A and B are shown apart, each in its own frame.
Chain A
Amino acid sequence: MTINPSAGRWTGRSVPRVEDAALLSGRARFVDDLPTAAGTLYAAIVRSPHGHADIRSIDVADAMKSAGVAAVVTGDDIRRLTRSMTVGVKADVECWPIATDRVRYVGEPVAVVVAADRYLAEDAAEKVAVDYAVLPAVVEPVAALSGDAPVLHPSLGGNLINERRFSYGDPDGAFASAAHRIGIDVTYPRNSCTPIETYGVVASYDPGEDAYDILANFQGPFSIHAVVARALNVPGNRMRLRTPPSSGGSYGIKQGVFPYMILMGVAARIAGRPVKWIEDRLEHLAASVSATNRVTRLEAAVEPDGRITALSWDQIEDCGAHLRAPEPATLYRMHGNMTGAYAIDNLAIRNRVVLTNKTPTGLNRGFGGPQIYFPLERLMQRIARELGLDPLAVIRRNLVPAGSFPYRTASGALLDSGDYQAALDRAVEEGGLDELTRRRDEARAEGRLYGIGLAAVVEPSVSNMGYITTVLTPGQRANAGPKNGAQATATIAIDPLGAVSVKVASVPQGQGHRTVLSQVVADGLGLDPAAIAVVADVDTGRDAWSIASGNYSSRFAPAVAGAAKLAADRLRAKLAEVAAGQLNVAAADVDFSGGRALSRSNPDNSVSFARVAAAAHWAPGTLPGSVDQTIRETVFWTPEQLDAPNAEDEVNSSLCHGFIFDFCGVEIDRRTGEVRIDRYVTMHDCGTILHPAMVDGQVRGGFAQALGAALLEEFAYGADGSFRSGTLADYLIPTVMEVPDPVILHYESPSPFTPLGAKGVGEGNCMSTPACIANAVADAIGADDLVLPLSPSRIAGLLAGEEPQPKVTPKPAEKAAPGGGRKLTGEGSADVAASREDVWRMLLDPATLSAIIPGSHGVEKVSDTRFTADVTLGVGPVKGRYKADIELSDLDEPNGVTLTGRTVGALGSGEGSGRVTLEDLGGGRTRIAYSYEAAIGGKVASVGGRLLDGAARVVIGQFFKALATHAGGGRAGAGNMPGAGLFARLRALIGGGR
């Protein structure tokens, strides 16, 4: 569709972005680029290697002695100087930004080391000795609900932190009388939109005023400011929060930086200096923030023609180890539109929120949308399949009827505008659905696997700040007082030379807010956008802001740009009165255009904008009595449609509701299971489009992230809570090779509720695309149950079906590693030029071992059968120092010995045992043979298996080479030598190490 901007208006045109010149030439300023005060210290964070463990003790003495260290902050300090962070439900549970007595997820902060520079801080972090008592972990939300599951927070008595049931209309009656009851079970995985810039915080504390000053690449919502100030135990006006001018992407994720504001604030207070912390990528993947994973049972009451009369949701939401603000918002953000794009009057919802040994969750693009649209749109396809109907016909049959807007949904959302049927028809025609169907027919005729998927989605934007209180009962809400609205603010200022500045509290992370605001205000005041300067970063000490400020829920175009328009309108009305006096005409006759104020009836009668605009500075006495000033206009705008949830739990959870209809054709490689997108069509109705290229940019970007969620990305955990997606080589983000260019179509139904008619557009594809692709895959391979991400191995598994039974009974499967960590086994041998007796002595001699173990910092003999070793071990990017405890048993001198060991280090833990035998080869030569099995957990376990095995082979080889050299020649490396980083060190004592 071609979009024709209104003639003479800047809004609606794809003007070049004002942000780009700086970003393209290295002049933009991100959080790590800003100057810091002299003497600023740097923080490194010691994090838990365990998914669940009690902290017996933390010994910081060695770390404090380390070069350049100013302070080591632990949970005790945080408890002493702050309060627990606010939890959004009524529950007896505390929420701290650092572990206090127990760690509950891999990556949870345990200590903050503050030193003169980051290198020194990391050196010292390795010297913080934490003694953990490992506890059983629970990582699956359904398992977390079982009576015998390990409990994360004993004060809660279980892992269920909140449960609510809702009923709208008469769902029971509708199900009882329905012709069909069709359901679907969905396990939605964890993922994150992972910005390329990680978190960054610079904090300082002034003891004279008991005030914190915190710079962070935080994105909002600024309701979190209240959470941080309360936690730091200061009034809001003693917690000045500033954001940098540029932020390297967020997609919701940088909301989650706030616990680090508290940590760094306290670190600065203790150290007596400003403290800076820049998160590294490993920290970011393991412990920043993740979208929620969710287990859902969704059922529909369906008539024979495909009409749905009721939906019943049973959702189990996994918020990770702590319920961190604003959670459980992910579960309630969509509460008003749980019926999607469909007119369904009867609705039942059961919502449970559980805690598991995983990273706490938070904002992530799509926020709650992917988790509901995947079940809902997969169910629409399932209904079509079970009833033998065309999936498109089932969607059409249920869409909210044209002409019924604003439309009130069963659970209370007010769908503002749209014509879903018209948008869908246009998408089908312009996107070429018929052609895709032909391509499918042709492909199938040739025996290829080709499928078509559909998805219809309502995309909410401008969140009602009160929707989260739907998690409370009406009685609890009445006690707490109503919460609602979505205050947006914009300030326009005019300086003494008549130049216009715009200030908003929107904190963009790449969306081009400054460009769009210059267009909007240029239109309002008849100026060139280039003449307008826009500041979009925030300083809570100086700027206008409120709790809804920030950049989330796609609120910029509908709310923030709208507020700027209102401010421009207000200023324009005043300036018209000023100009009327100068031009000697009526105010109604004044127009602003081309940088001048002029008479509409006699355009030759004009005066420069600057002359009118500056009058309030230079000659306030000349202003008409009706005009106070034209120097600065601040508008706060909150839409009246955003009421608090009512006593029936109905809530208009968002102001705007865009419409999306997607379809795609995919082909699946029968051999590899790889999914190839043949064509992807995405139709968007986001109301009035303010900048077409940016809207398409939002669509493409969201689509690419959703494609990753559909096909590649997952935060995977072992059963022991170990984190298995710890690097960007393990957590796969789509590259240019994987992302096709979607066909983007538009249909514009302006929102009647926003000043510019615009709605949000940034999150829709994160909601629609995973379901659309999964529907296509299901269509291609005839599968019913699909779990994301649809990796080749997963699809190949579905294609292959059950493995045929082997003719020969295989060896019994090896039991899982203790606690569910990564299991490693290996065996090998090496020949050395020494007698068995000599080798035996060498292997049991601490001094010899210490000399030949790569990376050894010393081996100590505790008793004849017990040793401790201290080694540095590195696999790929994961390098750490370990303490190992090794016990010898079954000593059969000089023939063999069994070793059993345990180790704990900053990066992980492990245990294992191995048997070493010495064989006399004659001629003073000995063959050392070994076999072992070991299990590792923690960060080391998150390193890819190929890396681990390869590194272990190298490490073991190094040990034997050193042993052979030490024994006086010989040859190492006979046999295969797979193994583990962990065991390498175990192996240290007898054959292995580093």
Chain B
Amino acid sequence: MAKLSREASHEVRFRLNGRNVTAQAPARMLLTDLLRHVLGETGTHVGCEHGVCGACTVQLDGEPVRACLMLAAQAEGADIRTVEGLELAPGALSPLQAAFREHFALQCGFCTAGILMSLDALLERAPDASEETIREHLSGHLCRCTGYTPIVKAALAAQAQLKEEAANA
């Protein structure tokens, strides 16, 4: 990677939700600010900017990461997926998203994007994850509205649905 200078903006190229993007970002710009305010993908939310609340979680090369703790420049060459990339088609919710709606697993929806990205990554990597594992992954997220129970239910329901789809595929 080229040496970045403090003053100048630098070109950052990466894949975002399946398409190639190129953007200009000052060296110190956070990834959240690049996604939200430069690229206009405002579905990723910022709750604490110190890595505790989990609202800003996105997938970087398939792994959930806190976008508020990353610099935009660190996205160079990466494959990034945000909540905007979850729908199967515009207006068609993924099984995980649909399960959230069915189980009332969100209220204000501000923390939801991060939770979806963590669960989506987990269910992709560990389709048979136990409820305990799911809870452990959810424990990296703060939700102030739901009391979490419906989120766990939605995750388990989505898992069952995905497994059924896989079996029928």
Residues of A with Cβ closer than 8 Å to B? 14, 16-17, 19-21, 23-30, 32-33, 118-119, 193-198, 246-249, 251, 280-282, 509-512, 693-694, 697, 700-701, 703-705, 727-729, 733, 735-737, 739, 741-742, 876-877
Docked-complex contact A739 and B147, CB < 8 angstroms? yes
Distance of A240 from chain B, by nearest CB (Å) = 24
Are A32 and B110 CB-contacts (below 8 A) given A21-B101, A25-B83, A701-B147?
Answer: no
Which secondary structure characterizes the binding site on chain B? loop
Docked-complex contact B139 and A737, CB < 8 angstroms? yes
Docked-complex contact A21 and B93, CB < 8 angstroms? yes
Distance of B54 from chain A, by nearest CB (Å) = 9
Docked-complex contact A33 and B42, CB < 8 angstroms? yes
Across the two chains, which residue of chain B brings its CB closest to A278? B46
Across the two chains, which residue of chain A brings its CB closest to B116? A24
> How far does the alpha carbon of A195 sit from the alpha carbon of B144 in the complex, in Å?
6
Q: Say whether B1 faces chain A, with CB atoms less than 8 Å apart.
A: no
Contact of A281 (CB < 8 Å), options: B49, B113, B141: B49
Across the two chains, which residue of chain B brings its CB closest to A700? B147
> How far does the alpha carbon of A90 sit from the alpha carbon of B72 in the complex, in Å?
53
Docked-complex contact A694 and B104, CB < 8 angstroms? yes
Docked-complex contact B139 and A26, CB < 8 angstroms? no
- Size of the B side of the interface (Cβ < 8 Å), in residues, is 56
Q: Say whether B14 faces chain A, with CB atoms less than 8 Å apart.
A: no
Across the two chains, which residue of chain A brings its CB closest to B149? A741
Q: Say whether B28 faces chain A, with CB atoms less than 8 Å apart.
A: yes
Docked-complex contact A25 and B43, CB < 8 angstroms? yes
Chain B residues whose C-beta falls within 8 Å of the C-beta of A20 in the assembled complex: 100-101, 106, 109
Q: Say whether B126 faces chain A, with CB atoms less than 8 Å apart.
A: no
Docked-complex contact B142 and A704, CB < 8 angstroms? no
Chain A residues whose C-beta falls within 8 Å of the C-beta of B44 in the assembled complex: 26
> How far does the alpha carbon of A16 sit from the alpha carbon of B100 in the complex, in Å?
10
Docked-complex contact B144 and A735, CB < 8 angstroms? no
Q: Say whether B91 faces chain A, with CB atoms less than 8 Å apart.
A: yes
Contact of A701 (CB < 8 Å), options: B93, B102, B107, B138: B107
Across the two chains, which residue of chain B brings its CB closest to A34? B42
Which secondary structure characterizes the binding site on chain A? loop
Docked-complex contact A727 and B142, CB < 8 angstroms? no
Across the two chains, which residue of chain A brings its CB closest to B42? A33
> How far does the alpha carbon of A693 sit from the alpha carbon of B100 in the complex, in Å?
13
Contact of B148 (CB < 8 Å), options: A194, A249, A736: A736
Q: Say whether B108 faces chain A, with CB atoms less than 8 Å apart.
A: yes
Chain B 143-160: CB-based contact to A (< 8 A → 1; otherwise 0): 111111111100000000
> How far does the alpha carbon of A280 sit from the alpha carbon of B30 in the complex, in Å?
14
Docked-complex contact B108 and A246, CB < 8 angstroms? yes
Taking CB atoms and an 8 Å cut-off, the chain B residues in 117-169 that contact chain A are 135-136, 138-152
Contact of A25 (CB < 8 Å), options: B33, B55, B86, B142: B86
Chain B residues whose C-beta falls within 8 Å of the C-beta of A728 in the assembled complex: 48, 50, 52-53, 142
Q: Say whether B66 faces chain A, with CB atoms less than 8 Å apart.
A: no
Docked-complex contact B139 and A193, CB < 8 angstroms? no
Docked-complex contact A26 and B83, CB < 8 angstroms? yes
Across the two chains, which residue of chain B brings its CB closest to A249? B108
Chain B 21-62: CB-based contact to A (< 8 A → 1; otherwise 0): 000001011000100100001111111111011010000000
Chain A residues whose C-beta falls within 8 Å of the C-beta of B47 in the assembled complex: 196-198, 248, 281
Chain A residues whose C-beta falls within 8 Å of the C-beta of B113 in the assembled complex: 26
- Name the 4 nearest CB pairs between A and B, nearest first: A26-B43, A510-B108, A248-B110, A23-B109
Could you pull out 22 A-B pairs where Cβ atoms are within 8 angstroms? Answer: A16-B102, A21-B91, A23-B106, A26-B44, A28-B109, A119-B29, A194-B144, A195-B108, A196-B55, A197-B47, A246-B109, A246-B110, A249-B144, A281-B47, A510-B109, A693-B104, A697-B145, A701-B144, A701-B145, A739-B148, A739-B149, A877-B49
Across the two chains, which residue of chain B brings its CB closest to A698? B107
Q: Say whether B111 faces chain A, with CB atoms less than 8 Å apart.
A: yes
Docked-complex contact A704 and B147, CB < 8 angstroms? yes
Chain B residues whose C-beta falls within 8 Å of the C-beta of A703 in the assembled complex: 147
> How far does the alpha carbon of A246 sit from the alpha carbon of B144 in the complex, in Å?
15
> How far does the alpha carbon of A701 sit from the alpha carbon of B111 in the complex, in Å?
14
Distance of A951 from chain B, by nearest CB (Å) = 14
Distance of A216 from chain B, by nearest CB (Å) = 16
Docked-complex contact A249 and B42, CB < 8 angstroms? no
Q: Say whether B11 faces chain A, with CB atoms less than 8 Å apart.
A: no
Docked-complex contact A30 and B110, CB < 8 angstroms? yes
Distance of B92 from chain A, by nearest CB (Å) = 10
Chain A residues whose C-beta falls within 8 Å of the C-beta of B109 in the assembled complex: 19-20, 23-24, 28, 246, 248, 510
Docked-complex contact B149 and A24, CB < 8 angstroms? no
Are A24 and B148 CB-contacts (below 8 A) given A511-B107, A736-B138?
Answer: no
Contact of B111 (CB < 8 Å), options: A19, A196, A705: A196
Across the two chains, which residue of chain A brings its CB closest to B111? A196
Across the two chains, which residue of chain B brings its CB closest to A876? B50
Are A736 and B104 CB-contacts (below 8 A) given A19-B109, A251-B144?
Answer: no
Docked-complex contact B50 and A729, CB < 8 angstroms? yes
Chain B residues whose C-beta falls within 8 Å of the C-beta of A737 in the assembled complex: 135-136, 139
> How far does the alpha carbon of A932 sit from the alpha carbon of B29 in the complex, in Å?
38
> How far does the alpha carbon of A21 sit from the alpha carbon of B92 in the complex, in Å?
9
Docked-complex contact B93 and A17, CB < 8 angstroms? no
> How far does the alpha carbon of A704 sit from the alpha carbon of B111 in the complex, in Å?
15
Docked-complex contact A26 and B84, CB < 8 angstroms? yes
Docked-complex contact A24 and B29, CB < 8 angstroms? no
Across the two chains, which residue of chain B brings its CB closest to A702? B147
Chain B residues whose C-beta falls within 8 Å of the C-beta of A736 in the assembled complex: 135, 138-139, 141, 148, 151-152
Interface centre among A30, A33, A196, A248 (most CB of B within 10 A): A196
Docked-complex contact A727 and B110, CB < 8 angstroms? no
